[in-house]
């Protein structure tokens, strides 16, 4: 059976089905995505701007914001370096455990963050594998900033690598091998050949990694100890305010995360327009890299 253009009909080709699908998606998006954001904004200012500002400027809230920022400033760069190194090793070299490395990078996506947090207790806790050694050395990992950073790094480890590996596989190794044969060092080859071709995918992965670090709750809630004003990140602080029946303060703190989420979405869309978030055509990538190398 063919339509008026002589082609076989596609699924959803009829106006009724197409409009129903689009309308259903818009309705679900409005109810489950936009509605919570609107409620956060309304509830945050429900008692006036003075109450909102008092909640946001409270010492415990400022401490939670500072802890969240510090965690992101440490975890995101470290995971960025890890993602670049992992993608480089997987796509530019052949070695026996290559597929195993890919599986290891994917592990955080298949493990619950709370399970990851509990596992850190058994590794770095006082009764854990390295706990006694760390205690003797006077190093505090759990219930402090290092534990929060480690938990955040675990749950966000795959983001940068997952964006770079498909792109670097599509680009191949020819350009790097050509630069090396012409006498370029490994660092110069990376900075002049590889980095210009992966910069948008790299930024895309960094944006996603930062968003997850800022909003991480499960793993951090286990290793932080929930010490108010000391080891609380912003998501944990929101939970404490809500359980203390400080609804306005909880929504005021949540509005900060909502604003970060909106800016993350904007950055994500802009980077996607630059070609990040999806594989570029190998030919186009090679042509661009060839021009830059020349």
Cα separation, 65 vs 221, whole angstroms: 15
Which of 77, 101, 72 is CA-nearest to residue 89? 101
Can you list the domains of the chain with their CATH numbers? 1-44 (no CATH), 48-293 (1.10.3720.10)
Residues 97-140: tens digit of each pLDDT: 888 888 889 899 888 899 988 999 888 888 888 888 888 888 88
Q: Tally DSSP H helices, then E strands, for the chain.
A: 16, 0
Q: How confident is the model at residue 6 (pLDDT cuts 50, 70, 90)?
A: low
First to last CA, the chain: 53
User: Residue 280 has what pLDDT?
Assistant: 45
Cα–Cα distances in angstroms (integers) from residue 66 to residues 29, 69, 237, in the given order: 32, 5, 12
User: Residue 289 has what pLDDT?
Assistant: 41
> Each residue of 86-112: b (16+ CB within 10 Å) or e?
bbbebbbeeeeeeeeeeeebeebeeee
Residues 65-98: tens digit of each pLDDT: 999 999 999 999 999 999 999 998 888 888 888 8
Task: Compute the average pLDDT of residues 247-251.
Answer: 89
User: Residue 213 has what pLDDT?
Assistant: 93
Which of 102, 117, 107 is CA-nearest to residue 224? 117
Cα separation, 158 vs 102, whole angstroms: 9
Task: Compute the average pLDDT of residues 263-272.
Answer: 84
Lowest-confidence segment of 157-161, 191-195, 286-290 by average pLDDT? 286-290
Whether the per-residue pLDDT at 169 is higher than 80: the answer is yes
User: Residue 11 has what pLDDT?
Assistant: 60
């Amino acid at each position: 059976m063919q339509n008026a253009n002589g082609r076989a009909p596609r699924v959803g080709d009829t106006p009724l089905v197409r409009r129903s699908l689009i309308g259903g998606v818009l309705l679900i998006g409005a109810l489950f995505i936009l509605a919570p954001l609107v409620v956060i904004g309304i509830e945050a200012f429900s008692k006036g701007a003075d109450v909102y500002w008092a909640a946001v400027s409270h010492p415990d809230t400022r401490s939670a914001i500072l802890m969240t920022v510090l965690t992101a400033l440490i975890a995101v760069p470290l995971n960025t370096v890890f993602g670049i190194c992992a993608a480089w090793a997987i796509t530019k070299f052949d070695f026996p455990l290559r597929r195993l490395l890919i599986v290891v990078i994917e592990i955080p996506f298949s493990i619950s963050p709370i399970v990851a947090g509990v596992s850190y207790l058994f590794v770095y806790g006082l009764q854990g594998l390295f706990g006694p050694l760390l205690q003797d050395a006077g190093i505090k990992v759990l219930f402090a900033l290092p534990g929060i950073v480690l938990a955040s790094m675990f749950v966000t480890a795959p983001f940068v690598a997952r964006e770079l590996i498909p792109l670097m596989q599509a680009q191949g190794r020819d350009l790097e091998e050509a630069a090396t044969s012409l006498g370029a060092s490994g660092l110069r080859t990376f900075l002049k050949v590889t980095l210009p071709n992966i910069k948008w995918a790299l930024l895309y992965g960094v944006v996603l990694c930062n968003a997850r670090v800022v909003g991480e709750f499960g793993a951090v809630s286990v290793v932080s100890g929930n010490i108010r004003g000391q080891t609380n990140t912003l998501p944990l602080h929101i939970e404490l305010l809500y359980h203390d029946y400080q609804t306005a303060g909880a929504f005021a703190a949540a509005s900060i995360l909502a604003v970060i989420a909106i800016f993350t979405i904007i950055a994500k869309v802009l980077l996607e327009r630059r070609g990040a978030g999806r594989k570029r055509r190998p030919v186009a990538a090679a042509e661009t890299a060839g021009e830059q190398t020349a």
